[in-house]
Structures are given as structure tokens and as C-alpha cells.
Structure 1
């Protein structure tokens, strides 16, 4: 290499030396940087963990302050719905409060302004179940505000929904629901486990059940007429709150409480009778088109060994006699089938006959055939009534002669009239008695048709729903006591009633001679011929069309039976022959006739003595 110059080898060597020097200078700096970065990461993670711990401590402290020992379960609970479906209804449970959030009947629909939707007995917070109790630290707990922890299991065809409000894994309050495959009845138990050191046994827990009943039928006013609280108490007695009033009642030894709508019902039953319960219903204003009534039940519960343990049931479903009666829990009394003999006629006669008919015929035809069966069963009574009226009509001229002959001696006139009746074999009461015998049938069927769930949304001819009115014209205004529509079946029933009364009233007034000092019954009866059909027209315009169909067919059949009897069986000539034959016979007097004659003779003698 020449002096003052660098050759290639020198340059390479100097480059390698510089690179090596640079590497040594950078290595401490990178390690220091990595160490610093690692320290910062650890510090950041520690800060995050500390913040999370502080947050959890704060949250737990807040939950504990709000829920006490039940903060344990609240921290585990999540906001969710638990949906369970069987063959008859679909239920959604809300974890907050552990109660039913939505319950809809799978095969029943209600008509809305736009279309049809499934009938919902519970929806949109219209119902609530709340248990209020006090803990030993004097904290008042209301279960409706507390999240429950849900568990869903299955045992065969039974789905079990457990809702637990937990104080720990082994201490909790549980609502347990058992839903069978094809049952409207839900098993329900309310029990506390391991809470005897938590619950304040010195205070009384209270169970509150509320329900705002939805309107599910076409006529709100008609539906409201049959919406009421019904309850069973004191070993099988049953009673109800007047559906027309806002009312409340406190009763003892209650075994079930029913919030009954017209054709659906919600019932709480208990195996262990509640010592007392306060039930109430509130009517809404007529302008309210969504709800029927607001129902409430407040039930004090009792601790056993410091714990709660109640075995109960819920029924949510149709107010159908055939379904309710099969549970053998006296639930058929929830339906208003009439009291005493009227209810028994429905249960042992009309409902079984109607069940047979509807199993083979459409519902409209079943009503017609039921009417035919009833009219045939009642025809002997109707026959006797008509024969009695015909006899009274035949002897009326003789009665008028006696009235004229003894017009100045009322007592003597009465005596001679009674002798004439006895001799002719005529009983003036025989025409009225059959009418009274028909009244139980009339009233029983009047109660049967509004309670017949099977008629719901069943159509016949122009009626689209035999459980409601059959509107053929919608009026642009409302007529007081009539409504804003025109129903055809009530018009037909009123016309048939008019014809029937026209046929019978003439005979009845003919056999009732006017009495001095008494109102003229013939004039009253003639007025009633026109008033009764008009009253029926107004009364039945909003009633079930099935009931109007029954009365229409019943009156038509009655008119036909009377025409046949009058035209071909009991003619005036035959009646006269019977009366003349009776006059030739020596007829023994009944004890009633003997007693009446003695009373008249005594009255006549007293009258003579006074003169």
C-alpha cells in the first residue's frame, strides 16, 4: 500500500470494525428498552386487575346493600326468558320475579282489528306474582324485583321449570313449575330451603297475585257480564263477587281462587287451605276496550319450622265444563250454570245430551236437535196445559151465566163456580201448573248457552260465532239498551214469540172472566203480546246467538205442536164430549176441594151474621 492511501482490504476491515462497534453500542439499549416495556406491561396488568377487583367489590357491595343475602343469586342470574311449550299452551317465564311473563293458548284465537291472534291470558305485564317477606335483619324482600336462577329439566312427558332466588348454593327460595304434555293444569310449589336463619318468622309473608283480564270476545259488555272472581272456601263452599260491581271480600279457609273471564279462566289452587285471603275486582270504564276487570288476591302465608312449604296448582285455560270437571276439584263451580235445580239440570241432562249431539253434528244443528229433544220431553206437559185451557174455554159460557146470576152475591158466585169446575172435571190451576214446571228448563238453558265454551267461534248460517251476537247490520250510532248493530236471530225469536203469544193469549183471556174490582186481564194480556217480543228483541241483541237460535226454534216447534194438538188431537167437540161425560159421573171431591168449600161456607155464614 502506498503512503497516504487506503487499499481495498483496509476499507473492508475498517467497515467490519465499525459494524461491530455499532452492534456493541446498540445491544444494551435494546435490552434496557425490552426490560422497560416488560415493566410497563406488568404495571398496566396489575392496574387493570386492581381496577377490576375494586369494581367487583363495589358491585358486590351494591348488590349486598340492595338484596342482602340474596345478592349471591342475583350476581349469578341473567336477564332472560325461559320458554316452555306443551300441546295446549306456550309459556314464557321471566327470570325477574320467577313468574310467567307470557301465556298463550295454542289452539284458540281472538279477533283483532287487523286479523286474528292467539288468545293470551298473560302478556305485556298484565299479571304478576309477588311474595313479600322480612329477613332477620329487618330487610323487606319483594320477589317481583329480584332475579331468579332458572333450571329446566324433563321427567318423561313432564317439563320442570325451577326458579331459585339463592342466598347460597344450598339456601334458596324456589318456585317450581311442572308442565305436563297435554294439561292446562300446572303443578306449582313454593318452598324455602335452608333459609330458617334468614327469614324473620315473627312477620307474616304475603303472596300477591294480580291479573288484568284481557277482552277476548266480540262483545265487551256481554263478556264482562260473565267476568268475575270465584272462590272456594270452608270445605267445599263456593261464592263469587258480583260481576257488575267493584268489590272485595276477605274469606277463610280458601282452597282455590279463580279469576274468571267469560270463556277462559285463571285459577290458583292449594292443597293446604289458605287461612285467609282477600280477593277483589275492579271494573274499568266503558271506554276501555282492552281489559275487562282488574283482579287481585292477597294471601297471608305461614312458616313451618322457619321455612315456607306450599304445594299448589295453576290452571290457565278454557272455562269449559268438560275440562274443569275432570279434575275432580269442584272447579265446575267456576262456571255459572245456575243454582240448585237449574245447575243440576244442566250437569246431568243438557250438557251430556249436547256433548253427544256435537260429537256427530255441527254445532248449529246440535242446538236445533237439542231443542227438538227438549220440546218432545216437554210435550206431555204442554198437552195437559192445552187440554185444561180448552176445557176452561168450553165451560166459559156457563161460568158467565153464574156470574150474571149471582152478581150481587160474590161468595155464592164463587161457590157455584167451584161446583161447576168439580162437576165438569176442570181444574183451573191445571193450565198454570205446566207453565211453572217448564220454568226450570227455561232458566237452566238460559244459563247453559252463555257457559258453553264449545260454541266459541263456531259458525252457523250467517252467525260467525254462536257464543256471541250475530250482527247482520252495523249501525253508525248506538241505540240505548240495544246497541250499535242488528242481530237477526233475536228478531226471528221475537217474531216467533209474538205468534206463540197470539195463539195462546186468546184462549187464556177467554177462560178468565173479568172480576168486579179487579183489572181486566184480557187487556193486560193483549198489551203483553206486543211488549214481550219487543223486550226480547232488545234483551237478546247482544246475547249469544246460540241462545237466540234456541228460543227461535223452540217457539216454532211449540207453535207446531200446539197447532197439531188443537187441529187433530184435542178438538172443541172432543172436549165438550169429555165435559158432558164428566157431568154424568159422580166425582169424589178431593181434600183440597172439600177444604175450599168449607172455607167458603164459613165465610158466607159470617157474612150473613154481620148483616
Structure 2
């Protein structure tokens, strides 16, 4: 094989390659030296910076933080026991969770788990005032469970933090608030708000706390509310602000209007903190075994005490069953409206003060249905007028009977006076002859009183109806901006005792109508009742009452609802008209004379009662004659 020889070109190529390799080795060594120098320089700078900062500083801070958390947890543990767990959760802060529908807006606080804000969103509540009705705000309410733990601590839920969880069940909003002693150990409040409802479901239950809470004693439930003023007249609103409760399966009671009232009851099924036209109610399916109630009047001076009306408080024990709590309840925050409350079928209509006995029946079964029907087709002011006309027309036969009796008595007055003069020394004979005259003339002296007595239930029922009928709130008519409150036409620069600091026009008109009505009828009343020996002269009293009655009405009605004053104004006008027609076109004096003369000519057959009464009077008269005369 022929051996290859190296030529000049090959030698030159190898030389070039060697030079390139040597140059690359040199550059790499220089770069390494530069990096080493830069690194050494940076180390020197870092050492200089660390002279004032010790190297283990970061580790020390972390260690201090762990130590602080340990101390905090130990302190919580010593104070809250097992419930210290709830204070370490992210929810342990004073925030709220809001649930609302078209009618109601509620904010529930993490701290305490109770309703901290309750507003009504319904537009009728805002009309005229341009603001929502706020039943709860600024910590004016408190809901607390006080219990004893197994390690002898007394804890209050108002001081502890609940963990909120908001979910939905169909259209219902469900808010659970859990006070935790562990992941699966808790006290739970559950709020369920339905669409278009003022009432929400509420339950209290425990899980896994049998070893944490002392279950040998009941848990004390405390509910308090300081009621806000929501209406124009604080004195009138306060008059109808009350604490009402139901007990012993259907009985109901209230605390009244004293400066400070308290009471207790057993088997309590609901408690209502009533604020005149709005109400906060707690209901329970399992009646509270016992309950203690307290009410304090906060309006001492109407010029100064203008924010709150009354302070309510209720305290009830909750019993454990099988080592756990389980109570199903309801909350109601809404209007004191008879129709709404009655529809719940829980006896809540008793919260509306419609009157007791026959007065309440008249309101429930006559006035409310009739007024509601009229209000569907007429404005509320016109509804009151039409409503008044209907009542006066229904009562007109009673008015007629009353006036007819007065007219007959007026015709008989000369004969009665003659009997009084003839037998002035013989009271028994005078009474006997007077009764005989009434009998022959066909006159019943009590006929004038009975119609007046029949009107009392209607009068009292109406007096309860207008202040309690919620639909009148914020309804205007003429100069009255709100028919559920007084109609102020002038604000006085001072306050007049018993009258107020404003002038209402409807009470003035009603008082004038009463004055003219009494002017029209007083003469007939005094002529119908001749003065009796030893009795005060009624004619003089009636003349004074003509001026006193309108004045009393003016003072009393000045702070009452404009709707009530409007009713009495229209009612008295209609009564004046009815009396004018009866007096001038129906019951004329010559007709009465003819009627009485005809009655006298007819033979009268006495009834058993009349015959017995006359027999007794004759026997008494005979005994009087046979009695021996005493010597002076």
C-alpha cells in the first residue's frame, strides 16, 4: 500500500486549528478569573451589609410570631374553653351577612349570630318619608343565649363569633350561623327567608356539644329591643307601643302603658314587641316552659325623648333533649296589619288592638271587610267619607227612635209637671201617676236611652279601628299628608299642655259640628226631661256641656289620626242633616199630640210586669198611710 505524504496545505490547516484552540482556552480562563473576582467582590459587599443585621434575624421573627399565636390561643382557651376554636377561624370578625327579598332586608352579624339590622323595603313604608322603616339598627336589639360549659364557664353567644354559610333551597335563602367548638361540634342558628314574606323560619340546634355544655341546666334565651320612633307623633305612637304575648294555648296578654311593667307566664308560644304600626315577633313551635317580660317607657319628656319609645325585654329557658337543643321558631318583622297577621293563622291578629268582646267582633267582621272593599275602588279619604255615610244610614233608625221618644216626652212635659205639683208631698203617688200617664200615652221613658246605648259599641269600635288600620299610613287627603297621623296646618312655637305644639284642622271642624249638633238637640232633650225634686237641673248642665264637649274633643283629637277626626266631622254633619229632616219633615209636634191623644183613648191592657209593679206600688202606698205619725 502506498504511504501518503503530508503536503504543505495539510500542515497549514493543522496549524490554524491549533491556534484557534489555544485562543479559546485563553479566553475561557480569563472569563473564569473575572467571574471569581466579581463573586469575591459581591461577597465582600454582602459581608459589609450584614455587619449591623445578625444572620439569624428572619428565623427569630417567625419564632416570635408562633410564640405570640400560642399565647393568644392559650388565652382564648382559658377564657372560652372549647369555643376558643371559633375565635381562631377566619370568620372571627365583626362583619354581617345580608339576606333580603322584596319586602324585607336583614343583616346577620358574625358576632353573636343575631339580626343586627332589619329594614322594610315595601314602597308603602317609604312613601312620603323617602326613607325605609328601620326596626333594628345601631345595636338597638340583642339576642343572646347564656349557658354554662362543662368546665364551669358562663358564656354568652353575643360575645362569640359564628361562622356564616349562605345557600339557596329553591327560591329560599338559607343562612346558617355556627358557633363551633370543633369541626363537627357547634351551636347553629338557621335563618330561612322566603320570597315576598315578612316571616322567616328560624331554628336553634346543637350538635356534638353534650360533653362541652352543661346540659343539666337549661340555656337562657334573652331577647331585647329598644323600639325606634317611626311616626310623626311620638306620644300617639307610644300610646300604642306594647309588649304582647300568647300563653297556655291561645290566651293572650299585654304589659300595658305604665312607666315600667313586668310579668311572667307559662307555655308561651309567641312574644311581640309591638311598635304601633310595625311589629317584631318571635314564635316557637315548642312553647317556652316559662317566660319573664319587662317593659320600660323611654318617653319622659316629649320634647327631648324623640328617638326611642319603649325598651322591651324577654327571657326564656331552653331545655335540652337527649343532651342537645332543638327548637323550631319563626321571626316576623313587618307591619301590624290585621289582614297580614290573620293570614298566618297563628293567632297573631290579637296583636292588633281592635277592642275586646263585641267591639272587636264589629271591627273584625264588619268594619275591616267593608272598609277594605271600599278602598279597592276609592281613594282612602273618599273611602272614609263613604264608610261614614253607610254607618250613619244604618244607625239612622236608632237616631229616629231616640228623637221620637224625646218628642213624646216633650209633649207630656206639662202633664208631668202638673202631677209633680199635685203630689209633691207624696212621692209614691207621684211616681204611680207618672207611670200611669206613660202607660196611657204609649210612651216608654227608657226608649230615648236605649238607642244611645246601642251606639256605644259602634263608637268604641271605630275609636279602635282608625288608629289600628295599617292601610291608612302615608295615605293623604286634602291637607292631611298622612291619615294615620294628625293633620298639622300650623306648627306652634311653643307647646300647650294637653293640646300639643301644632294645630290640626279636622279636629276643629269636628268640634264645630258637635257644637251645632248639640245646639240643635239640647233644647229638645231638656224639654223632654222635666226637673225632678232633689235632682240637679239638667237644662243648666246641658247648656254648659254645649261648650265643654267640643272643647274636650278639640284637645283630645288634636294628636289623633286625621282619619278618625275626618270620620267624626263627616258623621256629625250627617247626623245634623238626619236630625233636621226628622225634626222638620217626619216627627212634627202636632202629629205627636194626635198620636198621644189616640193612645189615651184606647183601652190599655197591662202586661204581667206592669200589673205587678202597680200592685206593689199600691201596697207600698197603703202601708205608708197606715204608718203611725211620729211626734216631733
For Structure 1 versus Structure 2, the TM-score category normalised by the shorter chain is over 0.9
Cα distance per residue 1:532-560 (max 9 Å; x no partner) = 11111111111111111111111111111
Cα distance per residue 1:180-199 (max 9 Å; x no partner) = 10111111101111111111
In the TM superposition, what is the alpha-carbon distance from 1:24 to its structure 2 partner? 9.2
Q: 8 Å contact 2:199–2:333 — kept in the other structure? A: yes
Residues 607, 108 of structure 1: CA spacing in aligned structure 2 closer, same or farther, 3 A cutoff? farther
**1:104 corresponds to 2:114:** no
**1:238 corresponds to 2:238:** no
Q: 8 Å contact 1:225–1:244 — kept in the other structure? A: no
What's the counterpart of residue 83 of structure 2?
Answer: 70
User: Secondary structure, in 3 states, of the residue corresponding to 2:122?
Assistant: strand
Matches within 5 A, 1:18-33: 19=30, 22=33, 26=37, 29=40
User: Secondary structure, in 3 states, of the residue corresponding to 1:167?
Assistant: strand
Larger radius of gyration: 2
In the TM superposition, what is the alpha-carbon distance from 1:598 to its structure 2 partner? 2.4
Greater CA drift, 520-529 or 66-75: 66-75
Greater CA drift, 386-395 or 137-146: 386-395
In the TM superposition, what is the alpha-carbon distance from 1:206 to its structure 2 partner? 0.5
CA distance in 1, matches of 2:507, 2:455: 21
Q: 8 Å contact 2:223–2:314 — kept in the other structure? A: yes
Q: 8 Å contact 1:110–1:216 — kept in the other structure? A: no
Q: 8 Å contact 1:108–1:119 — kept in the other structure? A: no
Matches within 5 A, 1:430-445: 430-445=447-462
What's the counterpart of residue 95 of structure 1?
Answer: 110
CA distance in 1, matches of 2:185, 2:119: 33
In the TM superposition, what is the alpha-carbon distance from 1:504 to its structure 2 partner? 1.8
CA distance in 2, matches of 1:332, 1:448: 13
Residues 479, 314 of structure 1: CA spacing in aligned structure 2 closer, same or farther, 3 A cutoff? same
Root-mean-square deviation over aligned CA pairs = 2.6
Residues 267, 124 of structure 1: CA spacing in aligned structure 2 closer, same or farther, 3 A cutoff? same
CA distance in 2, matches of 1:397, 1:71: 95
Greater CA drift, 45-54 or 68-77: 45-54
CA distance in 2, matches of 1:360, 1:21: 101
CA distance in 2, matches of 1:606, 1:448: 55
In the TM superposition, what is the alpha-carbon distance from 1:490 to its structure 2 partner? 0.7
What's the counterpart of residue 197 of structure 1?
Answer: 211
Q: In structure 1, which of residues 319, 332, 352 is the aligned counterpart of residue 336 of structure 2?
A: 319
User: Secondary structure, in 3 states, of the residue corresponding to 1:266?
Assistant: strand
Greater CA drift, 26-35 or 349-358: 26-35
What's the counterpart of residue 240 of structure 2?
Answer: 226
CA distance in 2, matches of 1:364, 1:18: 107
**1:429 corresponds to 2:439:** no
What's the counterpart of residue 248 of structure 1?
Answer: 262
What's the counterpart of residue 282 of structure 1?
Answer: 296
Q: In structure 2, which of residues 427, 432, 436 is the aligned counterpart of residue 415 of structure 1?
A: 432
What's the counterpart of residue 314 of structure 2?
Answer: 297
CA distance in 1, matches of 2:497, 2:287: 46
Segments of 5+ residues of structure 1 without an aligned counterpart are 1-11
What's the counterpart of residue 513 of structure 2?
Answer: 496
Q: 8 Å contact 1:233–1:256 — kept in the other structure? A: yes
CA distance in 2, matches of 1:402, 1:24: 145
**1:60 corresponds to 2:73:** yes
What's the counterpart of residue 50 of structure 1?
Answer: 63
In the TM superposition, what is the alpha-carbon distance from 1:204 to its structure 2 partner? 2.9
Residues 17, 315 of structure 1: CA spacing in aligned structure 2 closer, same or farther, 3 A cutoff? closer
Q: 8 Å contact 1:206–1:300 — kept in the other structure? A: yes
Residues 24, 175 of structure 1: CA spacing in aligned structure 2 closer, same or farther, 3 A cutoff? closer
Residues 533, 35 of structure 1: CA spacing in aligned structure 2 closer, same or farther, 3 A cutoff? closer
Q: Give the aligned length.
A: 597
Matches within 5 A, 1:331-346: 331-346=348-363
Q: In structure 2, which of residues 176, 190, 194 is the aligned counterpart of residue 176 of structure 1?
A: 190
Q: 8 Å contact 2:86–2:92 — kept in the other structure? A: no
CA distance in 2, matches of 1:598, 1:214: 68
CA distance in 2, matches of 1:364, 1:157: 39
What's the counterpart of residue 550 of structure 1?
Answer: 567
Matches within 5 A, 1:196-595: 196-284=210-298, 285-286=300-301, 287-595=304-612
CA distance in 2, matches of 1:98, 1:463: 43
In the TM superposition, what is the alpha-carbon distance from 1:31 to its structure 2 partner? 11
Q: 8 Å contact 1:88–1:105 — kept in the other structure? A: yes
What's the counterpart of residue 616 of structure 2?
Answer: 599
Greater CA drift, 143-152 or 570-579: 570-579
In the TM superposition, what is the alpha-carbon distance from 1:244 to its structure 2 partner? 3.3
Matches within 5 A, 1:67-146: 67-76=80-89, 77-79=91-93, 80-107=95-122, 116-146=130-160
User: Secondary structure, in 3 states, of the residue corresponding to 1:395?
Assistant: helix
Greater CA drift, 174-183 or 281-290: 281-290
Residues 21, 60 of structure 1: CA spacing in aligned structure 2 closer, same or farther, 3 A cutoff? closer
In the TM superposition, what is the alpha-carbon distance from 1:57 to its structure 2 partner? 2.2
TM-score (structure 1 length as normaliser): 0.93
Segments of 5+ residues of structure 2 without an aligned counterpart are 1-22
In the TM superposition, what is the alpha-carbon distance from 1:562 to its structure 2 partner? 1.1
Residues 197, 404 of structure 1: CA spacing in aligned structure 2 closer, same or farther, 3 A cutoff? same
User: Secondary structure, in 3 states, of the residue corresponding to 2:272?
Assistant: strand
Greater CA drift, 595-604 or 356-365: 595-604
Greater CA drift, 186-195 or 497-506: 497-506
CA distance in 2, matches of 1:468, 1:24: 92
Greater CA drift, 584-593 or 364-373: 584-593
Greater CA drift, 592-601 or 207-216: 592-601
CA distance in 2, matches of 1:564, 1:24: 124
In the TM superposition, what is the alpha-carbon distance from 1:22 to its structure 2 partner? 4.8
Q: 8 Å contact 1:127–1:211 — kept in the other structure? A: yes
Give the ranges of 4+ consecutive aligned residues of structure 1 lying more than 6 Å apart after TM superposition: 15-18, 30-38, 109-112
User: Secondary structure, in 3 states, of the residue corresponding to 1:136?
Assistant: coil
Q: 8 Å contact 1:160–1:177 — kept in the other structure? A: yes
Cα distance per residue 1:12-63 (max 9 Å; x no partner) = 99x989958955974995898899999x999565445434432332332232
In the TM superposition, what is the alpha-carbon distance from 1:357 to its structure 2 partner? 0.8
